Structure 1
Amino acid sequence: MSTAMGGPALFIGTDTAYVAVVRPRLDPEDPEVREAAVQAGVSPEEFAGPGNVWALMWEDGSGGGGGFELPGLRDAEAEDFADRLLAELSFESGPFIVGAGEVLRLQAYPGEGGEDCRFLCTVTPPEGEELSPVTLEIPSVDADALRADLEDFRRALA
């Protein structure tokens, strides 16, 4: 799944409660990017950047949310996270935990028959970020749809 900005993106959750690992790719020709660049006092190309920096974003369902960049994250590490989550979702062995480095920990609770899954996510910003660690609950999501999103994410990285 891609964001409106382009680039690989994996959203786990709902419209109001989610965690997302994204590598946005902004188009310097996009009118909104050009406008934001003018407001920032830089060229559209500088504002868009190289499009190779990963970010972690979240929203907690009550309107609270945040995010931060993960400049050291490589595509291979993002793919490994997706692979491990997909593998765990493929087995119907009960609750499991999948982590993405030190910044994200997903505790997953598959429903009966593996048709859905809810998550308890712990987001721990890297050292130097002003944000505090956050724990958020993601209500049940369709497991088949999440598997399809994980496959799309993996293809976007290839």
Structure 2
Amino acid sequence: MSDVMGGPALFIGGDTTFVLLVRPELDPADAGVRAAAERAGVTAEEFAGPGNVWALVLDDDFECDGGFELPGLRDAEVDDFAERLQAALGVGGPFTVEAGAVLRLDGRPEGEGYVFTAHATPPEPEGAPTVSLQTGTIPTATLLADLEAFRGSLA
């Protein structure tokens, strides 16, 4: 889990190859937010936004990085995804967990952890291509602890 964005975030991957499911909550009082808002020509409150829109960010060695917002995605749906991922990790063996038509994680055991292939399809524009990336090995115990903390941050 990561709180870099100020809101709940589920980080799956390593330093350069990762999938991040995040609901950023920017603080309008933060100096960096105020400076960015000024450069954008809007108020800090407008720049920070409502803080309730989920986003999916993917990065693969800084070559196929990208991300997109997931308007309408509710915390309960994100929690369901995290719960199904936890359950699959608890069973062991290869698995697939989907978050609607937007994200599919294929996990396969490797040593003391899992390697994931993530397939993400942006909701807009319609017909946007699916982006895929593969993570390195993520220790199972670390990922289970991160999932538990992430789910707790949604409560």
Report matched runs for 1:56-95 at 5 Å.
Answer: 56-92=56-92, 94-95=93-94
- Counterpart AA for 2:59: E
Residue in 2 aligned with 1:149? Answer: 146
- Residue ranges of structure 1 left out of the alignment (5+ in a row): none
Q: How many residues align?
A: 155
Deviation at 1:71, TM superposition (A): 0.7
Deviation at 1:131, TM superposition (A): 5.3
Deviation at 1:19, TM superposition (A): 0.6
1:10–1:21 CA contact under 8 A, matched in 2 = yes
- 1:140 aligned to which of 132, 137, 140: 137
Deviation at 1:110, TM superposition (A): 1.2
Deviation at 1:143, TM superposition (A): 0.9
Deviation at 1:63, TM superposition (A): 3.5
Deviation at 1:62, TM superposition (A): 4.4
- Residue ranges of structure 2 left out of the alignment (5+ in a row): none
CA offsets, 1:63-122, max 9 Å, x none? 430000001100000000000000000112x1100011101101100124xx21001111
Counterparts of 1:62 and 1:35 in 2: how far apart (Å)? 26
TM-score (norm 1): 0.93
- Counterpart AA for 2:144: R
Counterparts of 2:117 and 2:45 in 1: how far apart (Å)? 38
CA RMSD, aligned part only?
A: 1.4
Residue in 1 aligned with 2:29? Answer: 29
Runs of 4+ displaced beyond 3 Å: none
- Counterpart AA for 1:133: T
Residue in 1 aligned with 2:121? Answer: 124
Counterparts of 1:25 and 1:124 in 2: how far apart (Å)? 24
1:18–1:60 CA contact under 8 A, matched in 2 = yes
Q: Are 2:97 and 1:98 equivalent residues in the alignment?
A: yes
1:68–1:125 CA contact under 8 A, matched in 2 = yes
